[in-house]
Amino acid sequence: MKKVQFSRPLFPYLLLIPQLSIIAVFFYWPAAEAIRSSFFLEDPFGFGSTFVGLDNYRDAVTSSEYVNVATFTVWFTALVAFLSLSLSLLLAIKADAVLKGAKTYRVLLMWVYAIAPPVAGLMGILLFDQSLGPFTHLMALFGHDFKLGVNYYDTTTAIVIVSVWKQIPINFIFFLAGLQSIPRSVREAALIDNPSGISRFFTVTLPLLAPTAFFLLIINITYALFDTFGIFDIMFKGEPGNNPTTLVYKVFLDGFRGNDLGGSSAQSVILMILVLGLTVVQFRMMERRVHYT
C-alpha cells in the first residue's frame, strides 16, 4: 500500500460498490449455495430436499465411475502439461537463439492463443474424422483403424493432441519472455565457463527459468482441468457415452443432465478445494518472485 493516501470517509466505498456487489451476487452466493446443497439430497421432482450430511461426498468419492474419471483427469493433465511445456520450451529456446526472423517466429507460434477451445475441437474433428481426416488416413497406412468417438484410446489421443496444440502459444510466450530476461552478462559468462550447449542448458538456463516453468505448470494444470471443457464437449459431439471425461465435465453432466444436484455440488466442492490448494501454492511462488526482483 502507498504511504501517502487519501483519507475520504465515503469515496472509496463508492469506488468499491460495483465490484463488491457483483462479487457478492455472482461469486459468494453461488459458492455458498454449492457448499450448502452438497450436504442435501435434492428431490428430482423439486419437492424439497433432505439433509444427508457427508453422504454426497462419500457417494461421489467411492463410486467406481468417479475414481475412473479422476484417474483419467490426472493422466490427462500430466500428459497435456508435460507435452505442451516441453514442446514450447524447445521452440522458445530456438526462437531465442536465432538471429534472423525471431519476431516472425514469435507471431507464427503465438497466434493460436486467440482461438477458442471449442473451435480448436471442431478443427480436431475434421482432422481426426473417420472418413475425412488426414490423420485417420495416416494411421491407416500404419494399419491402425483410427476411430474418433468410438475407440476410447483413439479419442483420448485426438483430444490430447488438440489440447496440447491449443496450449503451446501461451507457454511459448512465457518461456520466451523468461529467456529474454536472462541478462547478457550471465549468458556470456556461462558461454565462457561451459561451451557445451546441452550442459549449459541444464546448469544455467533451466535453473534461471525455473520460476517461469513452475508458474506455467500451475497455469497448465488449471488449463487441462477447466479450459479443455470446450474441446471435450465438441470432440465427442455432446455424446459422452463411454468416451473419456474429466472431473469438470462430470460436474456438468451430473448437474445438468443427470439432475443430481447434491452429487454435482459435492464434486464442485472437491474441485474448489483442489483449485484452492493450487492457487495458494501459486501465490507463494509469486510472492517469492516479487521478493527477488
Interacting positions 145-174 with another protein (CB under 8 A) = 165, 168-170, 173-174
Task: Decide if residue 240 touches another protein (CB under 8 A).
Answer: no
Selected from 20, 67, 78, 206, the binder of another protein by CB under 8 A is 20
> Residue by residue, what is the 3-state secondary structure of 39-51?
CEEECCCCCCEEE
With respect to another protein, which residue has the nearer C-beta, 45 or 239? 239
| Spatial CA neighbour of 264 closest among 69, 41, 28 | 41
Selected from 46, 143, 195, 238, the binder of another protein by CB under 8 A is 238
Task: Decide if residue 256 touches another protein (CB under 8 A).
Answer: yes
**What is the DSSP annotation of 235-248?**
HTTT--TTS---HH
Task: Decide if residue 177 touches another protein (CB under 8 A).
Answer: yes
Query: Would you say 108 and 161 are in contact if contact means Cβ atoms under 8 Å apart?
Result: no
Which part of the chain contacts another protein (CB under 8 A), choosing from 60-68, 75-83, 97-105, 140-148? 97-105
Q: Grid coordinates in use for 74?
A: 490426472
Interface of this chain with another protein, residues 52 to 81, rule: CB under 8 A: none
C-beta of 91: minimal distance to another protein in Å? 5
Task: Decide if residue 91 touches another protein (CB under 8 A).
Answer: yes
Angle between helices 152-180 and 102-110 (to 10 degrees): 140
**What is the DSSP annotation of 122-161?**
HHHHHHH-TTT-HHHHHHHHTT----TTTSHHHHHHHHHH
With respect to another protein, which residue has the nearer C-beta, 207 or 277? 277
Selected from 148, 204, 261, 266, the binder of another protein by CB under 8 A is 261
Interface of this chain with another protein, residues 192 to 231, rule: CB under 8 A: 215, 222, 226, 229-230
C-beta of 112: minimal distance to another protein in Å? 5
Task: Decide if residue 33 touches another protein (CB under 8 A).
Answer: yes
Determine the Cα–Cα distance for residues 120 and 123; give it in Å rounded to an integer: 5
**What is the DSSP annotation of 21-67?**
HHHIIIIIHHHHHHHHHTTEEE-TTSS-EEE-TTHHHHHHHHSHHHH
Q: What residue type is 112 in one-letter code? A: V
Query: Would you say 163 and 118 are in contact if contact means Cβ atoms under 8 Å apart?
Result: no
Task: Decide if residue 248 touches another protein (CB under 8 A).
Answer: yes
Selected from 56, 60, 133, 171, the binder of another protein by CB under 8 A is 133
Task: Decide if residue 234 touches another protein (CB under 8 A).
Answer: yes
Selected from 191, 279, 284, 288, the binder of another protein by CB under 8 A is 279
Task: Decide if residue 139 touches another protein (CB under 8 A).
Answer: no
Please count the residues of this chain forming the interface with another protein, following the rule CB under 8 A.
102
Q: What residue type is 178 in one-letter code? A: G
Determine the Cα–Cα distance for residues 104 and 89; give it in Å rounded to an integer: 17
